[in-house]
Amino acid sequence: MSPDEARIKIQMLREELDHHNYLYYIKDAPEISDFDFDQKLEHLQKLEGDFPQFDDPNSPTKRVGGAITKDFPTRKHKYPMLSLSNTYSREELEDYLKRTQKALPEQDLDFVCELKYDGAAISISYKNGNLVQALTRGDGSQGDDITENIKTIASIPLRLRGANYPNEFEIRGEVFMPLEGFAKLNQSRIEEDLEPFANPRNSASGSLKMQDSSLVAKRPLDCFLYYVMQEEQRIDNHYDAVLAAGEWGFKVPQPKHAYLRKAKSIDEIFEFINHWDQARHQLPFEIDGIVIKVNAYALQDRLGQTAKSPRWAIAYKFKAERQETVLEQVSYQVGRTGAITPVANLKPVSLAGTTVKRASLHNADQIAKLDLREGDYVYVEKGGEIIPKVIGVNFDKRSADLKAFQYLENCPECQTPLVRLEGEALHYCPNYKGCPPQVSGRVQHFISRKAMDIEGMGSETVEQLVKAGLVNNYADLYDLKIEQLLPLDRMAEKSAQNIVAGIAASTTIPFERVLFGLGIRYVGETVAKKLARHFEDIDKLQEASLEELLTVDEIGDRIAESVIAFFREEENQALVARMKAAGLQFEVQHQEGASKALEGLTIVISGNFERFGRKEIKELIELHGGKNTGSVSGKTSLIVAGEGMGPSKRKKAEDLGVRIIDENEFAEMIGI
């Protein structure tokens, strides 16, 4: 392919990919499969690798991130990023409307009502249709330059659509994390023993501040744009500007979803507010209120702003769902790592549509901070968090005889004195081997779906087995006999058979899941996969030094030290040895059909094929031990060429003396 041909092809692919990205993320109406999208993206990646002269910072290939920013540079906002003043009642909002009308006596005012997204505010600048910069709000007059991180958010266009956008403009919006993604992220953080995020807002703003943009790319972030700065605007009102921004490729609130409406009166505004006060619980993301804006830009200008907020807009904040109830008792849960979590047992109370009986109290410091006592009247809130929270005490109702709160000193399950490590918020029960919930927690984790997925066995069975003294660790599972199970409560012969069969079947579960099942602190699913792939068997992992562990992609000190500590314990070594003897998978099984036919070969794929897809060839190269790279160089061993291999690439290959084969020769090499 000549550079000219490449330039045109690259441009075409970029436009196509931008378009499909728009259909998928903005319109929610994809027209091609993920597979086809990936193929096009791969093709583009390859061409960009071959023709680096056509690099573009806004190419769709840049979405995956990769740039590392140690300190985000601070930059001044061209226009300050203000905040909104808040109202909390119909009266306050009526006052605002009256004040506004009074300031513009002769005007027939049009308002726009929209949702108040709960995330992190950003301001993005575009020049000639290209994203050039994205800043956080910061202190309002200057913010952090988080451009690289923002570019990884798929619903934010890197290049605009059509031709009707202003040459240079700024647009503002809110980056947020949808509830489903938030729940998944926290679930995996808990599995990896990382502190979960308190709410979606924190996880959104925390994600934007991560130094490695390739990690930001993996966070489920989204963004609604809600304000087009007026300079160079040909549109004279906010409502039309927002909808126009939708045409330029931004994700904006849509009237068809009732996320946006025009309103003329307090009654119309309140229709919108009342609707969303109820309906917000069904939204896939969080809002904390409604924003009401004067529609005409000219009138916004006339109203102007105070030092902090514009006079042309106001927020109406929903009341956090809050109830008062009695804190009957604080109980404690012991997790599989021995961490103690205090739990508030409440007099049942109805809150945001559910009956609440329990709420997390997090840790001892939280209880002290709230000055809680058993018997207190407390306020419970269900805000962003899925789990309700105790947020304070009604001291007026505190009776004089309530005793000062005493945090637990011994483990509620095994009476071992609790410890609290320097700098940690939580108390731990140090009785790793003998504390029943820790023992059964580890076994439950081991048998769970993402680990050994043992059929016929649930958490209750595990508890029964631990209580009966039949199981003290996961290795004991593999010694269980049907006769031992039968005397247990409610254990039928059939269930006992199923359990033993389920355990036996788990010996085929691949190494990476066994490794995850071991429950090594900080080794979640992803880390287990990485370690398994890198070390290939448990012996190598067990012998690995700290330095070796640190060479594995994304493994840092904390994880590496935890792995070393786990395998240092003789008890753990013995458990692994027993499970090995029981036939569990402690080494990576090479995939079916795999061979070493292409071992040591660096192979470039070029053109299109009849028998295989490009992706398929790539997978076959890897399956047979070869390495697939994008461009021809001195290191290339072989080119698999199909229809349409460019003449310049062919010449380069010939100059370098690289062998070119067709797809049939390739198939022969790997014996298919």
Question: Which residue out of 116, 251, 293, 389 is catalytically annotated?
Answer: 116
In DSSP notation, 247-312 reads: HTT-----GGGTSEEEE-SHHHHHHHHHHHHHHGGGSSS-EEEEEEEE-BHHHHHHH-B-SSSBTT
Give the residue among 268, 286, 277, 282 at the shortest CA–CA distance from 317. 277
Give the residue among 544, 582, 538 at the shortest CA–CA distance from 565. 544
Task: Give the SS3 label for residue 659.
Answer: strand
Cα 235 off chain centre by: 37
Asked if residues 628 and 604 have their Cβ atoms less than 8 Å apart, the reply is: yes
Q: Which stretch binds ligand IVH (CB under 6 A): 308-316, 411-419, 502-510, 511-519?
A: 308-316
Give the residue among 402, 407, 373, 405 at the shortest CA–CA distance from 390. 373
Q: Mark residues 132-151: x for contact with ligand IVH by CB under 6 A, - for none.
A: -----x--------------
Total residues binding ligand IVH (CB under 6 A): 16
Q: Mark residues 315-354: x for contact with ligand IVH by CB under 6 A, - for none.
A: x---------------------------------------
User: In the complex with ligand IVH, which residue's Cβ is closer, 115 or 604?
Assistant: 115
User: In the complex with ligand IVH, which residue's Cβ is closer, 1 or 171?
Assistant: 171
A 10 A CB-CB count for 205 gives 19
Min dist. Cβ of residue 610 to ligand IVH (A) = 53
| 3-state secondary structure string across 587-630 | ECCCCCCCCCCCCCCEEEEECECCCCCHHHHHHHHHHCCCEEEC
Residue of the chain from 313, 364, 538, 621 that contacts ligand IVH (CB under 6 A)? 313
Residue of the chain from 37, 96, 111, 117 that contacts ligand IVH (CB under 6 A)? 117
Min dist. Cβ of residue 283 to ligand IVH (A) = 13
Min dist. Cβ of residue 74 to ligand IVH (A) = 18
Give the residue among 59, 66, 46 at the shortest CA–CA distance from 17. 59
Min dist. Cβ of residue 294 to ligand IVH (A) = 12
Task: Give the SS3 label for residue 489.
Answer: coil
Residue of the chain from 1, 10, 121, 576 that contacts ligand IVH (CB under 6 A)? 121
Q: Does 291 bind ligand IVH (CB under 6 A)?
A: yes
Asked if residues 349 and 325 have their Cβ atoms less than 8 Å apart, the reply is: yes
Q: Can you read off the two tokens belonging to residue 557?
A: 């000190």
Min dist. Cβ of residue 150 to ligand IVH (A) = 15
- Apex CA 643: angle with CA 642 and CA 646, to 5°? 90
Rounded Cα gap, residues 153 and 661, in angstroms: 40
Min dist. Cβ of residue 259 to ligand IVH (A) = 9
Min dist. Cβ of residue 208 to ligand IVH (A) = 12
User: In the complex with ligand IVH, which residue's Cβ is closer, 14 or 77?
Assistant: 77
256 is catalytic: no
User: In the complex with ligand IVH, which residue's Cβ is closer, 305 or 602?
Assistant: 305
Residue of the chain from 60, 143, 310, 383 that contacts ligand IVH (CB under 6 A)? 310
Min dist. Cβ of residue 203 to ligand IVH (A) = 16
Give the residue among 255, 261, 227, 251 at the shortest CA–CA distance from 241. 227
Q: In what order do the strands lie in the sheet with 111-117?
A: 86-87, 313-317, 287-294, 111-117, 260-263
Q: Which stretch binds ligand IVH (CB under 6 A): 115-123, 501-509, 540-548, 635-643?
A: 115-123
User: In the complex with ligand IVH, which residue's Cβ is closer, 82 or 549?
Assistant: 82
Min dist. Cβ of residue 95 to ligand IVH (A) = 18
A 10 A CB-CB count for 499 gives 24
Q: Mark residues 222-251: x for contact with ligand IVH by CB under 6 A, - for none.
A: ----xx------------------------
Q: Which stretch binds ligand IVH (CB under 6 A): 68-76, 109-117, 402-410, 632-640?
A: 109-117
Q: Read off φ and ψ for residue 471, nearest 5 degrees.
A: -130, 120
Q: Which stretch binds ligand IVH (CB under 6 A): 114-122, 463-471, 474-482, 510-518?
A: 114-122
For the chain, the C-alpha Rg in angstroms (whole number) is 30
Min dist. Cβ of residue 488 to ligand IVH (A) = 55
Task: Give the SS3 label for residue 563.
Answer: helix
Asked if residues 650 and 600 have their Cβ atoms less than 8 Å apart, the reply is: no
Rounded Cα gap, residues 253 and 227, in angstroms: 11
A 10 A CB-CB count for 551 gives 11
Q: Which stretch binds ligand IVH (CB under 6 A): 79-87, 424-432, 548-556, 570-578?
A: 79-87
Q: Which stretch binds ligand IVH (CB under 6 A): 307-315, 478-486, 604-612, 613-621?
A: 307-315
User: In the complex with ligand IVH, which residue's Cβ is closer, 120 or 359?
Assistant: 120
Asked if residues 528 and 513 have their Cβ atoms less than 8 Å apart, the reply is: yes
Min dist. Cβ of residue 20 to ligand IVH (A) = 28
| Angle of helix 179-191 versus helix 200-208 axis, rounded to 10 | 80
Q: Mark residues 160-199: x for contact with ligand IVH by CB under 6 A, - for none.
A: --------------x-------------------------
Residue of the chain from 6, 17, 82, 604 that contacts ligand IVH (CB under 6 A)? 82
Rounded Cα gap, residues 258 and 661, in angstroms: 58
| Angle of helix 436-447 versus helix 459-467 axis, rounded to 10 | 140
Residue of the chain from 50, 114, 144, 463 that contacts ligand IVH (CB under 6 A)? 114
User: In the complex with ligand IVH, which residue's Cβ is closer, 225 or 514?
Assistant: 225
Chain residues 432-491 in contact with ligand IVH, contact rule CB under 6 A: none
Q: Which stretch binds ligand IVH (CB under 6 A): 1-9, 310-318, 412-420, 583-591?
A: 310-318
- Position with the least CB separation from ligand IVH: 121
Residue of the chain from 40, 46, 63, 116 that contacts ligand IVH (CB under 6 A)? 116
Query: Annotated catalytic sites, by residue?
Result: 116
Q: Which residues lie near ligand IVH (CB under 6 A)? A: 82-84, 114-117, 121, 137, 174, 226-227, 291, 310, 313, 315
